[in-house]
Structure 1
Amino acid sequence: MYKSPVPVCLSAFMILILLTEGSCAIEEVEDPLNSSDVLEAGVRVSSFIEKNQRLPENVSVGNRTLDTPFCAYALSRVLTGSNLVETQTINAPRLDIRRISVKLTKKQYMEIASKFRNLTSRTQYCPETISFSGGRIDFYNAVYLLSKIGRYRKLHGKLPDYVQISTPLPLNAYRIDSNTIDRRINNLKSQIKKTIKLMNLIHRRIRYSGNKKTIMRLQSKLKSLEKKYTYLNGQLRYYEGLRVSPWYVPSSLRRYIRSTAYCNITDPNIVYLARELSGNTTHSTALNLFSWVRDNVDYSFYYRTRYGASGTLRRRTGNCVDQAHLMVALARTSGIPARYVRRYCRFISGNWYSHVWAQLWIRGRGWVTADTTHTMNTLGHVYNWNTSVSEVREVLLEYDLH
């Protein structure tokens, strides 16, 4: 019996469509990372942290780009025996950095690696802190520890017997230290003065000496002193040039870059955030710091201080006083003078309240208002209370009412 070929063709066509649709629906799955790639990531992460004193956003290994949380998890897997690590999404915790300096035995760091692996596998979140037989270690230091061990194994083919770890983070986020600049300038001027005195003495000795050998020896010494004089003058010009930098703080304002009771400028979390937000100039840095506090710290109504700068950063909430503490701490640890202003203000609601905010000193602009308590406000401008009818009560180096 004769059968039409059309249904057969249609059937083949439909099969082709189904096959095509099926192939489009298949997701491309990345191959697992091998241990060598993971250890190479450890080399790059540890080197980045030591150079930049912060965590990298991501690391390139081969033709892949891996973020830091996954790198840390992959390292914990490889260091505890895995040869392959499947690519997956791993989330980072909120940083709660602790400054540590400790020597860990192999048993201790393997305990940390195992706990890091197990906690992350269970939740897909890296742990904020890990308790181990030697104490506690936070995520930031754990990433550095795991990457440092991974680097050692990559370079030496074995695990180290112990690891010495010191938190890779400075005590502040200064671009330049104004006190050091002043001391260096004074020291250079003193050295230049002594060098000139010696040069003049040798000139006189050459003039009155009749011994050729003595003259030649003195001339040789004079050339050395002239080279030293040239070098010292070059150094002096360099450091005097730093005095006109926007990052240089005049001596009269240096009390405004110190820690106070509720404004701990050496808190590692405040230092880390300040370094992350640092711009090319003091103004861009101040703008970054202001915007971050305004946009990331919720306003809460209560009186006086509850949390201080460190607690406000951890809780991400605070009243006007605590937000001012955080704003001042971030500015001061960045090397930008900051102070408190207290004023009786009429707000846009029509109500009058005692109010506190920060002011930052920026070269060429003077004291700039930084009131982070409302999203309408910008650096240097206030819109949630009436600036023309409000009465200034006091300007303070330290605000310690609680």
Structure 2
Amino acid sequence: MFMACLLLLNMGVSHAQENITTETQYHQENFYAAAGDSQTTNPVTTGDVITAAKTFKDYAEKNKTLPSTVQVGSQNVTNEQFTYLMSQAILNINNGKTTATINIIEVSSAPNPTGTAKGTLTKSNYVQSASKMANFMKTNGRLPNYVTTVIGKIAPQNIAYAMSRILTFYEENGRLPNYVTVQNAIQSTSSVSTGQGSTSNSNSSGTISDPGLSQYLVATANCQVNDPSIQSLAAQLTNGLNSTWEKAKAIFNWVRDSISYSFYYNTRYGATGTLQYRSANCCDHAHLVVALARAAGIPARYKHGICTFSSGTYGHVWAELYVDGKWYSADATSSRNSLGVINSWNTATATILGTYASLPF
């Protein structure tokens, strides 16, 4: 089978040459967005956020930490993005805009979450806090380290949990509560395992102890882990970050935001060439993600599958990163995706064709 990064399917058989004869034809048929489109995510409704808040709240109460991702309507978002959505939903409800839609924005985690305040916030207090949160995230693209309120500084994970309880109350009672009690009970996601329930294969120093993972840490064809440019960038991107999750996310976000998409079949540049030219197909996007992750001591591998995008069904390649005992999808070809969250294609219907330590095409 011709192992193209993008294979147009014809009656279940890969026939890239029959269906896409030239790059020009590919663009004309509007398949460019299939792997690495720069489309923004669709907005969600305030009602979608209200419904998802109950699941978010239940998870936080059971695990004493926030979920890494949240299903909102038909889309997956990170907990940081969902914190923004909840703050905006509270503002919409307070302003009588209960049917308003909310745009999903990119939100990274707080670099140094702090704040231990607990106590009661009145309705006007928590609406003001929601407004502060929303404005900060829209301006800075990340969670604040804390929110200053009348009861003191509240950590972002605790204000997020409080907002989920506010929205759950609204769903059950048809009105916003008169007050909310803030509890200092939720751990920061940057200080806990993001793969709860999975067995970790890392020891306390961060060294991988499972010999089966060693193949996902070394240089392979087109994954030049030991190249000085790869080593330097990996060190730069992870400098000052303590958790493996934060390091993995920093690497993923940089590749997603810095490397544009271009159409061609199979590997052309490898990790170092992709870093040099700053434009790549899905194979070379994956090479750079994998190389940078491995250079930072994070096991990384390749996935190859048949994936359905809004424009059709194609062969596709993406990376997976191993963090705290769990593999997370890392498809950096689309701005719609986050670490562990894929929105650019339908993960429920994908057919996995292979998992590799070294991509063979």
Which TM-score band applies after superposition, normalised by the shorter structure? 0.3 to 0.5
Q: Which has the higher contact order (CA 8 A, sep 6+)?
A: 2
Structure with larger Rg: 1
Higher helix share: 1
